Amino acid sequence: MLKGIDPLLSPELLATLRAMGHGDEIAIVDGNYPALEHARRLVRLDGHALVPVLDAILSVMPIDDFVPEAIFRSVVGGKPDQVDPVHQEIIDCCAKHEPKVPVTKLVGADFYNRVKAAHTVVQTGEPRLYANVILRKGVIYPSA
């Protein structure tokens, strides 16, 4: 355990977040997602819901502000305008940490392809369907 660090951030996940560079992406996916098949690197957080894991990651990781879109979520199959409760929770969590960054919807294959290209996939035990999000890492600016 560390002071000020959410205990959901396991040693493996902390090392991964620290190793990622500007522009690298991390996908946080639900328990039904085919993570082992899609991941270049896989971190498992079985038994934890997606939104608390997202909240923990956003507590330490900056989001890219060099691009217009840096946070992405999956959509309910064939219904891109549908916002399930878990999607609203994702949007609210992201807004708490990054109020100026919109959460962009990605449909089906576009989402899958982006996950496959991600630096790391974090698989949660989230039981709700389509509870998936991708974050693009930003930078920590030097002090003035």
Write out the two tokens for 74.
């999956």
Tell me how far apart the alpha carbons of residues 21 and 23 are, in angstroms, rounded to a whole number: 6
- Pairing mode of beta strands 133-136, 120-124: unpaired
Give yes or no for a contact between 25 and 137, defined as CB atoms under 8 angstroms apart: yes
Catalytic residue among 22, 48, 87, 119: 22
Give yes or no for a contact between 89 and 133, defined as CB atoms under 8 angstroms apart: no
Tell me how far apart the alpha carbons of residues 122 and 29 are, in angstroms, rounded to a whole number: 6
Question: Would you call 22 a catalytic residue per the annotation?
Answer: yes
Tell me how far apart the alpha carbons of residues 133 and 71 are, in angstroms, rounded to a whole number: 7
Number of residues written out for the chain: 144
Give yes or no for a contact between 118 and 25, defined as CB atoms under 8 angstroms apart: yes
The residues that are catalytic are 22
